[in-house]
Each structure stands twice: as C-alpha cells, then as structure tokens.
Amino acid sequence: MAAVPITDLRQHLGYLKPSDVGRIEEAYQFSSTAHQGQFRKSGLPYISHPVAVAEIVADWQLDAQAVMAALLHDVMEDTEVSKQQITERFGKPVAELVDGLSKLDRIEFQSQADAQAENFRKMLLAMARDVRVILIKLADRLHNMRTLEAVNAETRRRVARETLEIYAPIANRLGLDSLYRELQELSFSHLYPLRYKVLAKAVKGARGNRREVVDKILKALKERLPAAGIEAQVTGREKHIYSIYNKMIEKRLTFSQVLDIYGFRVIVKDVPACYLALGVLHSLYKPVPGKFKDYIAIPKVNGYQSLHTTLIGPYGMPAEIQIRTQAMNHIAEAGVASHWLYKSSDAEINEVQQRTHKWLQSLLDIQHASGDPAEFLEHIKVDLFPDEVYVFTPKGKIMAMPRGATAVDFAYAVHTDIGNRCVAAKINYELVPLRTELKNGDRVEVITAAHAHPNPAWLSYVKTAKARSQIRHFLKTMQYEEAAALGERMLNQAVSSLGAKLSEATPERWEKFVREAGAKSRQEIVADIGLGKRLAAIVARKLLTLTEQQQAEGKAPAGSIVIRGSEGMAVQFARCCNPIPGDPIIGFIKKGQGLVVHTHDCPTAAKSRGDPEKWLDVEWAPETDKMFDVAIRVTVVNQRGVLAKVAAAIAEAGSNIDNVSMDEERNLHTTMHFTLQVANRLHLAKVMRALRRIQEVVRIARVKD
C-alpha cells in the first residue's frame, strides 16, 4: 500500500512548535499503522481521509491535541485500538476528543434513526464539554462531502440530507460561515443534482450578462470610499447557488426574477468607519427601504457582526453590501475557531466564546430534561434554525429568540422556574396571551404565580428547544406522581380482593420485592401499576406471598376504584364513548397510559375484553370535581338564528360549548354536532330538556362513538 506522505500535512503546521509537530507525526504513524490495509470507496488508502481532516483542522490553526485527534478520529471505530491505548500513548485529552468523535456502531439499536439520534446526542454532549470535538467532526464531514461521489446514490442522498439538516446549521450556530456555505452547497449538489446543474448553468450565463454592471458598482465603491477619507478593502462575490435556490423557493421566484445574485463586502479599520462607510454608500446609490440590518449594535446569536444594506445600483440592479471590520470578518469566517485562529484578547472574540459556551450549556440542560436521544435530536433541530428576533427584558437586557418564539419561550429563556410558573405576559406594557409571537424590539415582561405549572397545550406553539424539553420534563414528572397515587389505590384494591390488607406487607418484604423486580423504589412499582406497566393483582400476590388457603378464602372482590375526575394524566376518559358521572363504567389498564375509563356498553371496550386481568371495577365518586366532555347531535329546522337559540339554551342550562360543527347538506333540516362540558348525567338531561323546548329542534341525541 502506498502511504500518504506526511509532507503535505507538514505544510499546514507552521504555526505550531517543533515539539508539537513531532507529536503530530507520531500520531500520523500510529494512525497509518492502525489503518494499514484499509481503503476508502474511492480506492485511496484510508489514511488519506484522517490526513485531509487534520489539514482542515490545521488550517483553522487549532492546537496540536486537536490535530492529533483528527488523525486518530477513526481508529477506535474502525480498528482494534482502544481508548486506553490512546490515553497511554497520547494523553487523556486526545483520547477524550477521539472518544467524543467515535460513533456507537458496536451498540445494538432498534433502528437506524435511534442509532443516528444517539450518535448526535453523544457528539453534542462531548462538544458541550470541549468544542474542539465538533470542530474536528465538522472537518471530517467536510472532507466526506468533498469525496461523496465515490459512494452509491442512496448513501449520497442520506449523507447530504443529514449534512443539510444537522451539520451545516451547527457550523452556522458556531459562526463558521465559509464552512456553513460550502456544506450547504455540497449537500444541495448531491441531494438535487439536476436542480444544481440547471442553476449553476443559469448563474454562469448571468455572470456574463451582468459582469459590466458588477464591475461598474465595484469601481464606484472603490473610488467613493477613499474620496470620503475611508480606507477600505472592497470585494465582490457571486452568491452561492443554494442561497439563490432558497430565495426562489421561499419567495416563489423564477431565476430571472432573482436580481441580487451578487454581493459586495466592504472591510474597514474600526466600528465608527463602518457607519461612515454606510453613509457614503447611501449617498452613492439609493438604499432599498426595510433592507438595512444592524448586526453590529445587536450581533447574531453566533457572534456574527456586520452592517447589511441593499442598494439600487445602475440599471436598477440591486446590490447587497456587507460592511464590517477586519476582526468582525475573522469571526464571520472562523466563528468559534477564531479563539485558536487569532490569539488575542479582542472583546469580540471573547464575546463569541461566551455565546458559544452559553449555547453548549443549554445542550446539557436539554439533555437532562429529555433523556430520550430521539427527543434530544428533535429539540436540537429546532434550536439549530434560529432566524432570530431580538427582544428586551424589563431591565433593558437584549435577548435573541428564534423567529416565531412566544412569550412562553421567553419565560423559559429567562429561567426554567419562570417558565414553569408563568401565567400571563405583558408585551410593550400590554397584557397578551402566552401564545403571542414576539417581534423585533418587543419589551417582554412575564407574570408568574407560585402554584402555577406548565400547560400541555403550550407544546403546540412553543418554538425553542429549551421550552419544549422543560415542559415535557415537568409533565412526565407530574404524570409519574399522579400514576403513583393511582397505582397505590389499585394495589390496595387488589390486596383487598385477596382478603388481606396492604399494611401486612412489611418494609422488609417491600425491599425484597423491589430488588427482585429490578426497580429502584416502592414508588416506581406503584407508578408502573398506575401506568399499566405492571398488573396490580400479580404485584399483590407476590408481595403478600399468601398461602393457597388464604387466597381461596379471600376471592370476593373488594371495593371498586373510585374515580373523582381530578386524577390528572394517570386516568384518561376514553374518547370513543366519553363517559360522564352517572354512566355505568369499567376501567382498562393500557400500557404506558395508565387507567382508561370506558362506559359499560362501549363497543371499543367490548373488543378488548380478552384479558380479564387488565380490566378493573371502577365507580364514580358521589361528588366529582370537574366538567366532562360529552357529544350531542341536534337536528333542527334550517332557519336563520337557530344556532344562536340553541347556544343560548345550552349556556342557560349551565353548560359550556367546547366545539360545534354543522353538516354541509343543509336542506329543510340541518344537523349540528356539539361537544359540551357537563358535570354528570343529570346535568346533561337538564341541557337536553332545555333544547327540546326550542320549537325548531326536531331531534336530539347523545353521541357515544
């Protein structure tokens, strides 16, 4: 096998000390030996890939440990080398980096999606401990994308989609702009090769047509700025094909309608010069109203700073211009890597590090709240596309939120406890619903209450990963506690039906049972009963270890489980029959959902009666403390104002209308479908009597299915 020479890599290492270069050469030799006999799909020796990744990492001028980890990043995954061997040879920091980069191929997963989610979870958590992990991973992905032609079409599409959905947004989140653009461009070319070719050809054609105008604008900028006493580097660039494609899709334009396929960059010496240059350019060409953005005063979440403006150039061609300082340009190009790339105490670079650290810390918070890898990945995807809006706290602090974020998202961004206890919000001093979307410049104040808690409905409109994961975490915890209370009652009933009392189960017996069952505590056992994961009758028998005679004597069933309506998520009322107090009912244990209550005559329940151990005797408490949904169908004479009469009668009978719909066929008669909230069957009867008194009502019936 022809080894890939280290001389190519050496050319990229001029910024390091000779002793560090020696250690990198040692890592190269180790990796080359470990990958001996392995080849890439392209036919090249496998070592060519780690060397290429190390070169990209070295171009970002990361430290020697990161370059060594880049060379070794596949040895744990693809060879017999262990983490211990890397630790002994190259030190613990390098071994930790390699471990963070290694996939989890040796663990069995239920599906490809689970494996992918777990890989991302591990990678992102390793990155939260050390950001170099993701920088090396991004370099790895960049080289894989550059050499993707060697794999089959299906793999190309899968890898390209994954890059577009996850890796490119991470590069953007970390401020690595040129990497972000290249990953997008490569992904687009592999995901939609025909569209890419057509657009590339169109851009090439437009280049010739618009060259004269672009040169004219460039010349005007280069002359006008020095004339105003502003030293500036001015460059013109063609916009990336993927960003042109995105604009066409989002704004439903044809290629010929996308005029601004060229952008211009003006780099000046300091911040005051940025604003002076802006004034000069606005006097040169007229600006497009509403197209000016000041990312210097309010930087993007990833630390990006620039002034953006769009001007109407010669022949009406729009010209997009970015104005920034040299330091801002470094950060825009290298993002978080600028910490290694430009060793300085620049306030801007420190600011980037703090922002990145804050985001990485939020990953750990989300992981703690979600636990499930697939859920974690879903949260991260939400968090990676923050088209930001900037809002103010009551004290004037600026907070960046994703576009579409609501007052609830803001509350969780301030603090988890504020989110959990929020009851209302004020935007610009006015009370608004919690689901109100935030806009740029809003002043947001959150109102909390000590005993408030998250509402499951919030999940339908929150936008941020933190809010979503914390709400789910709270609801899971609440469901667990409610399930434990229900499970305790179910276990009591099962023990009573065996002619015994739960108090007979001594603490020692509980301890032994918990250990044998592989659970952590008694509460986990009873919560599992409440959630339908364990059968109360089996737990009761094992727990009491009764003799056959005792069991025979105690077979008469004890009291039923009493349903009060306030059990929360641990007790659900079946949507197929909508039971209400007064209906004869039966309970069914459904795994993972707890106790589901049906009416005795429910057809759905009749189909599931095969397993008698899952059915429980339940009865309504004499006084229930909630309103229950019930469906009714009302057929009326089709006259003007009849819906108002029916609604008024329902309200006068003390019921609330939750939903109403009408049949589309409206001839002499029409049928209305209502979901009402009633206290019990007597209340429903009162409502139906009130409706029968209306002259236009022809027929009325309760709907159970």
- Cα distances (Å, whole numbers) of residue 496 to 513, 526, 554, 627: 19, 16, 8, 31
Most confident of 104-108, 163-167, 477-481: 163-167
User: What is the band of 498 on the pLDDT scale with cuts at 50, 70, 90?
Assistant: confident
459: closest CA among 368, 571, 575, 370? Answer: 370
What is the percent of the chain with per-residue pLDDT over 70, rounded to a whole number?
81
User: What is the band of 554 on the pLDDT scale with cuts at 50, 70, 90?
Assistant: very low
- Cα distances (Å, whole numbers) of residue 374 to 113, 409, 481, 521: 8, 21, 24, 27
Chain region(s) in the chain for CATH 3.30.70.260: 628-703
Q: In whole angstroms, what is the distance from residue 159 CA to residue 655 CA?
A: 56
Q: Looking at 20, 78, 333, 372, which residue is catalytic? A: 78
Query: Which amino acid is residue 452, in one-letter code?
Result: A
Instruction: Provide the strand spans (E) within 491-627.
Output: 561-563, 571-573, 585-590, 594-599, 615-616, 618-620
CATH superfamily, domain at 7-191: Hypothetical protein af1432 (1.10.3210.10)
Bridge partners (DSSP) of residue 637 are 669
What is the percent of the chain with per-residue pLDDT over 90, rounded to a whole number?
22
**pLDDT for 107:** 43
Residue positions counted in the chain:
705
CATH superfamily, domain at 194-343: Beta Polymerase, domain 2 (3.30.460.10)
pLDDT higher than 70, residue 300: yes
**pLDDT for 548:** 40
Residue 445 annotated to the active site: no
pLDDT higher than 50, residue 553: no
CA atoms within 13 A on the CB side of 312: 7
**pLDDT for 345:** 45
φ, ψ for residue 123 (rounded to 5)?
Answer: -65, -45
Contact 483, 531 (CB under 8 A): yes
pLDDT higher than 70, residue 342: no
Q: Quick one: average pLDDT of 3-22?
A: 78
State the average pLDDT for the chain: 81
Q: In whole angstroms, what is the distance from residue 264 CA to residue 213 CA?
A: 13
Helix axes 132-146, 112-129, angle to 10 degrees: 130
The pairing of beta strand 262-268 with beta strand 318-325: parallel
Residues 394, 436, 661: CA angle, nearest 5 degrees = 160
**pLDDT for 271:** 92
Q: Considering only 594-603, 627-636, 648-657, which range has the smallest mean pLDDT?
A: 594-603
Q: Quick one: average pLDDT of 676-704?
A: 92
Which position has the token pair 């879903």? 378
Q: Quick one: average pLDDT of 158-173?
A: 84
**H or E segment and range at residue 213:** helix 193-227
| Residues contacting 502, CB < 8 A, separation 6+ | 491, 492, 495
**H or E segment and range at residue 527:** helix 522-530
Which position has the token pair 């990744």? 53
**pLDDT for 50:** 92
**pLDDT for 556:** 37
Burial class, 7, CB count within 10 angstroms (exposed 0-12 / middle 13-18 / buried 19+)? exposed
Among the four given CATH numbers 3.10.20.30, 3.40.50.10190, 3.20.20.70, 3.40.50.300, the one describing domain 387-463: 3.10.20.30
* 522 or 104: which leads in pLDDT: 522
pLDDT higher than 70, residue 570: no
**pLDDT for 580:** 92
pLDDT higher than 60, residue 110: no
Q: In whole angstroms, what is the distance from residue 631 CA to residue 673 CA?
A: 7
Q: What is the DSSP string of 282-342?
A: HHHSEEPTT--EETTTS--TT----EEEEEE-GGG-EEEEEEEEHHHHHHHHHGGGHHHHS
Q: Quick one: average pLDDT of 226-245?
A: 87
Q: In whole angstroms, what is the distance from residue 640 CA to residue 67 CA?
A: 79
Q: Quick one: average pLDDT of 420-447?
A: 88
User: What is the band of 105 on the pLDDT scale with cuts at 50, 70, 90?
Assistant: very low
**pLDDT for 395:** 83
φ, ψ for residue 660 (rounded to 5)?
Answer: -145, 140
Predicted confidence (pLDDT) per residue in 585-614, tens digit: 988 877 656 678 899 888 888 777 666 666
**pLDDT for 165:** 80
Helix axes 347-370, 465-497, angle to 10 degrees: 20
Q: Is the dihedral of CA 473, 477, 483, 487 positive or negative?
A: positive
* 111 or 263: which leads in pLDDT: 263
Q: In whole angstroms, what is the distance from residue 672 CA to residue 656 CA?
A: 15
φ, ψ for residue 136 (rounded to 5)?
Answer: -70, -40
Q: Looking at 77, 260, 320, 629, which residue is catalytic? A: 77
As separate numbers, helices (DSSP H) first and strands (DSSP E) second, the chain gives: 29, 21
Chain region(s) in the chain for CATH 3.10.20.30: 387-463
483: closest CA among 640, 376, 602, 594? Answer: 594
**pLDDT for 68:** 93
The 8-class DSSP code of residue 671 comes to E
Q: Considering only 13-27, 181-195, 496-510, which range has the smallest mean pLDDT?
A: 496-510
Predicted confidence (pLDDT) per residue in 363-395, tens digit: 666 666 556 666 666 656 555 555 667 788 888
User: What is the band of 217 on the pLDDT scale with cuts at 50, 70, 90?
Assistant: confident
pLDDT higher than 80, residue 531: no
Tell me how far the alpha carbon of residue 354 is from its chain's centroid.
Answer: 22
The 8-class DSSP code of residue 365 comes to H
pLDDT higher than 60, residue 156: yes
CATH assignment, 628-703: 3.30.70.260
pLDDT higher than 80, residue 654: yes
Chain region(s) in the chain for CATH 1.10.3210.10: 7-191
Predicted confidence (pLDDT) per residue in 172-195, tens digit: 877 788 888 899 999 999 999 999
| Residues contacting 568, CB < 8 A, separation 6+ | 478, 479, 482
**pLDDT for 546:** 43
Q: Considering only 19-28, 58-67, 142-151, 522-531, which range has the smallest mean pLDDT?
A: 522-531
* 691 or 537: which leads in pLDDT: 691
Q: Quick one: average pLDDT of 157-175?
A: 84
User: What is the band of 279 on the pLDDT scale with cuts at 50, 70, 90?
Assistant: very high
Residue 78 annotated to the active site: yes
* 429 or 103: which leads in pLDDT: 429
Q: In whole angstroms, what is the distance from residue 118 CA to residue 104 CA?
A: 8
Q: Quick one: average pLDDT of 550-555?
A: 43
Contact 343, 215 (CB under 8 A): no
For residues 150-173, one letter each, b for 16 or more C-beta atoms within 10 angstroms of the residue's C-beta and e for the rest, the string is ebeeeebbbbbeebbebbbbbbbb
Most confident of 31-45, 92-106, 264-278, 597-611: 264-278
Contact 260, 319 (CB under 8 A): yes
